[in-house]
A = this chain, B = another copy of it.
Amino acid sequence: MAIGVGLLGLGTVGAGVAAILMGPEGRHPLVAELALRRVAVRDLDRPRPLELDPQLLTTSPEAVIDDPAVEIVVEVMGGLEPARSLILRAIAAGKPVVTANKAVIARYGEEIAAAAAERGVYVLIEAAVGGGIPIIEPLKQSLGGNRIQRVSGIINGTTNYILSRMADEGAAYGDVLADAQRLGYAEADPAADVQGGDAADKIAILAGLAYGGPVARAGIATEGIDRLDARDVAYAAQLGFVVKLVATAERVGDGLEGPGEAIPLDVRVHPTLLPKHHPLAGVHGVNNAILVEGDPVGQVMFYGPGAGAGPTASAVVADILNIAGIRRATGSQAGARLDPLLAASSWRRCTLVDGSGTSHRNYVRLQTRDEAGVIGRIGTCFGDAGVSIQSIVQFEAREGEAGGGAEIVVITHEVRESAFRSALAAIEALEEVRTVAACLRTL
């Protein structure tokens, strides 16, 4: 018997989902058992890329949710409201929900999960992170035997496109952004992408799943690429690194916290130097990749198109199929118990800690007077703070930049953030140092 699907939204992703459901040939046979019953659109008369029976269309999302023929509700309208309320309405009606809405899940995930658990329905979100890349379900269903150490990823395609071009062409941020906007890779208002907010939404979601409890979205330290200087991209390349906007969620303790015990996490988004052979370093253009490190699995990486109608629709349909599949197994009677892996109910608390206790490498660019002895004094400051240095290189300042002085780039070994900060304070106080022009974490 067919399983009724209702769509909220018929934009590019919604249309992609409809196209899959209406062309089941050659796909998993369960696709043919899904029937599109009702579709909520903003404007009934707008021309559409695919032909739909006009009787399926309505301007009322509530009518889609309340339609008794709709058994699974798919929210692909985006935005915070009314999306959040509609998701809650579907849950209240006992209907499982599939959503691609990272903003809603990052902010209201806890409320939504609680309502879903209470009502005994699934809310699946594969499309919310990484576009077509299977990452949410593998985190839930394939890595549960591990203690997760770190989840890090390139999870914003717009910024990765901009950074790839800055690295390839030596171009300035502003020029590439303007070009990306012209080509449709960046929004007219690019703030959510370039300031890191979109990546922070997504790492909040990934961390919540990887560590088993909701992560406070507002507490994620976030720095975008909008103040990144093309020089740092170029210097990094000369030293064997690429600069990427990396979102990271890292466990600070030993990972032995049990259910109910809080696990301290360092969650952050910022431009990061990656050694050229790092698995994430080869991720170019609008692609995304997520690296999961756990014990005993080691490093596994998931790579692919991070956005776009087709990939995102693939992820949405995967979620619909999962709900349809488990319904085949359990029957559709209300009150059935949930599969704890698929439901991904939270099982411990996550607390965000500041990063001063974590250790990593650092890239620092200093503008200094062009004098003998400067490098020695900088090196001494690092040494006094117990920060060991991997390389210290003087680059020639370009005409008119750095006030005719020198530019010195230091890459440290892996050191505690607190020790690094105190070294940096001492360096800033040196008379010969004009400014700390850039400071980037380095994996």
Contacts and interface: CB of A to CB of B under 8 A. Distances in A.
Interface of A: 16, 19-20, 25-32, 126, 132-134, 137-138, 141-147, 212, 254-259, 263, 277, 279, 282, 284, 294-305, 308-311, 313-318, 320-322, 325-326, 328-331, 336-342, 347
Given A26-B147, A28-B212, A329-B326, A295 B310 contact: yes
Contact of A30 (B294, B326, B340): B340
Contacts of A16: 296
Q: Identify whether the interface residues of A are mostly helix, strand, loop, or mixed.
A: mixed
Contacts of A347: 28-29
Contacts of A141: 134, 137, 141, 318, 321-322, 325
Number of this chain's copies in the complex: 2
Contacts of A132: 296-298, 300
B310 A133 contact: no
B282 A297 contact: no
Contacts of A145: 20, 27-28, 31, 313-314, 316-318, 320-321
A337 B405 CA distance: 75
A50 to B, nearest CB: 13
Nearest to A282: B282
Given A298-B132, A300-B304, A310-B295, A143 B26 contact: no
A341 B322 contact: yes
Given A144-B27, A144-B28, A302-B302, A325 B341 contact: yes
A296 B311 contact: yes
Nearest to A147: B26
Contact of A138 (B137, B309, B311): B137
Contact of A25 (B256, B294, B301, B325): B256
A166 B47 CA distance: 57
Contacts of A142: 126, 134, 137-138, 315, 318
A320 B133 CA distance: 24
A258 B326 CA distance: 23
Nearest to A283: B279
A38 to B, nearest CB: 20
8 contacts: A25-B256, A25-B258, A29-B340, A132-B297, A141-B321, A297-B304, A297-B314, A301-B303
Given A137-B138, A329-B330, 17 more contacts: A19-B296, A25-B258, A28-B212, A30-B341, A31-B144, A132-B297, A134-B141, A138-B138, A279-B303, A296-B309, A298-B305, A299-B304, A299-B305, A300-B305, A325-B341, A328-B338, A328-B340
